[in-house]
Amino acid sequence: QQKVQQSPESLTVSEGAMASLNCTFSDGTSNNFRWYRQHSAKGLEVLVSIFSDGEKEEGRFTAHLNRANLHVSLHIREPQPSDSAVYLCAVSMRSSALGRLHFGAGTQLIVIP
């Protein structure tokens, strides 16, 4: 059973400082990784998808994947107060049925002006 764990549980940063979020997964055959953002009482917004080791940048959001270490991270450059939200890591296994994403419990990011 795939386990996805995120850290930290909560992160407070000042506006403009880099924010780094971590996600570890248990199944080494995982091949699809996504970071979603969820503002309070809202749906999920996909930020960046990554499928191979290395980095993938989408605007101010950069995902870094190291499958050997079972680790994927998200770095937010110049965070703004509007980036305050819950960030969810989603992992899909090669053996999974279509669309079955395994989610972490999220990191609550608070950006202080």
Partner 1 sequence: ETAVFQTPNYHVTQVGNEVSFNCKQTLGHDTMYWYKQDSKKLLKIMFSYNNKQLIVNETVPRRFSPQSSDKAHLNLRIKSVEPEDSAVYLCASSPTGTGNTLYFGEGSRLIVV
The tokens describing 81, both together, are 């107060």
The bridge status of strand 61-66 relative to strand 54-58 is antiparallel
Candidates 42, 38, 48; CA nearest to 84 is 38
**91 touches partner 1 (CB under 8 A):** no
Q: Which stretch binds partner 1 (CB under 8 A): 16-24, 29-37, 55-63, 73-81?
A: 29-37
The tokens describing 49, both together, are 């998808």
Residue with Cβ nearer partner 1 (20 or 32): 32
Give Cα separations from 42 to 36, 53, 86, 102 (angstroms): 12, 31, 10, 19
The H-or-E segment that residue 16 falls in is none
Binders in 43-82 for partner 1, by CB under 8 A: 43-46, 49, 51
Q: Which stretch binds partner 1 (CB under 8 A): 15-23, 38-46, 52-60, 70-78?
A: 38-46
- State how far the Cα of 108 lies from the Cα of 60, in Å rounded to an integer: 18
Residue with Cβ nearer partner 1 (65 or 86): 86
Which of 34, 35, 61, 62 touches partner 1 (CB under 8 A)? 34
- Which residues lie near partner 1 (CB under 8 A)? 31-32, 34, 36, 38, 41-46, 49, 51, 86, 88, 92, 97-101, 103, 105-106
